[in-house]
């Protein structure tokens, strides 16, 4: 009697993480137009950054009016919050949102079922933002496609590929703030073609102290979160607990 072919051994989150890291390195450094291939991931990281500003504004009692994403991968969240520490929290939240979200995905999506949940939640958040906040042309064109890819990955990818995709997204988001290292220490930045005060400058103004100090603090917090996420993804579960999680 002929039996159905097996799908092969299930990958661990450790293996998925290694393959994701090597794949990102190869595409970014050695593949022609690799930056273009990674462009949707960059825009996703921008979306997470701007959503961090907006959600923080709502948490501190302010308003989240709209979100724009531009062709140069810059973004702008129009928010309203009381001046002082609340404004500083809103400014800092954008910088910390990608490492928080990315590290959370790395730590949580350590099996096929968990990867499905993480990807599904992210897709749902994108759809919600499209309804209420995303207003730029590029955002309205690209983010539905990103959400569709996430939904397809949940519904159609095999377990190993789904786990790999979740770890790839988690790694990309977790490293985003540190990858834009220079932005952590600059006083201004071009956003959508206009020169604006940088997030870290807004943090320093709200809380006081030198911009360099706050940049180093955000960098340290980001590195700490990335380290925790990588440790959780690398950690092997006891064999007796391995299941379809």
Give the CA distances from residue 57 to residues 43, 62, 66, 79, 92, in Å, rounded to whole numbers and listed in that order: 21, 5, 12, 6, 11
Q: C-alpha distances in angstroms, 219 versus 31, 97, 118, 214, 233?
A: 29, 12, 25, 8, 21
Q: What share of the chain is helix, strand, coil (3-state, %, to 5)?
A: 70, 10, 25
Q: What is the pLDDT of residues 74-88, one digit of tens each?
A: 999 999 988 889 999
pLDDT at residue 243 greater than cutoff 70: no
Which of these ranges, 97-111, 199-213, 228-242, has the smallest mean pLDDT?
Answer: 228-242
State residue 7's pLDDT score: 56
What is the β-pairing status of strands 188-191 and 194-197? antiparallel
For 89-133, what is each residue's pLDDT tens digit?
Answer: 999 999 999 999 999 999 999 998 999 999 999 999 999 999 999
Residue 30 or residue 43, greater confidence: 43
pLDDT value of position 208: 94
The predicted pLDDT at position 36 comes to 87
Q: Which of 98, 106, 75 is nearest to 168 (CA)?
A: 106
């Amino acid at each position: 009697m002929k039996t159905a072919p097996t799908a092969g051994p299930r990958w661990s989150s450790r293996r998925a993480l290694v393959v994701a890291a090597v794949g990102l390195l190869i595409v970014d450094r050695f593949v022609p137009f690799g930056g273009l291939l990674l462009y949707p991931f960059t825009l996703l990281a921008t979306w997470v950054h701007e959503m961090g500003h907006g959600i923080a504004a709502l948490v501190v009692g302010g308003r989240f009016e709209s979100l724009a994403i531009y062709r140069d991968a810059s973004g702008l969240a129009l928010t309203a919050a009381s001046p002082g520490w609340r404004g500083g929290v809103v400014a800092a939240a954008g910088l910390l949102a990608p490492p928080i979200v990315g590290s959370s995905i790395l730590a949580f999506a350590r099996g096929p079922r968990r990867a499905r949940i993480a990807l599904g939640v992210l897709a749902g958040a994108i759809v919600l933002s499209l309804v209420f906040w995303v207003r730029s042309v590029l955002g309205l064109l690209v983010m539905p496609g990103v959400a569709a890819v996430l939904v397809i990955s949940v519904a159609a990818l095999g377990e190993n590929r789904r786990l790999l995709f979740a770890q790839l997204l988690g790694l990309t988001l977790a490293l985003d703030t540190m990858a834009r290292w220079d932005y952590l220490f600059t006083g201004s930045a071009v956003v959508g073609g206009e020169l604006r005060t940088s997030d870290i400058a807004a943090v320093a103004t709200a809380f006081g102290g030198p911009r360099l100090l706050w940049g180093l603090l955000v960098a340290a917090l980001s590195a700490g979160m990335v380290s925790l996420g990588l440790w959780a993804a690398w950690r092997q579960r006891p064999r007796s607990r391995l299941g379809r999680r």
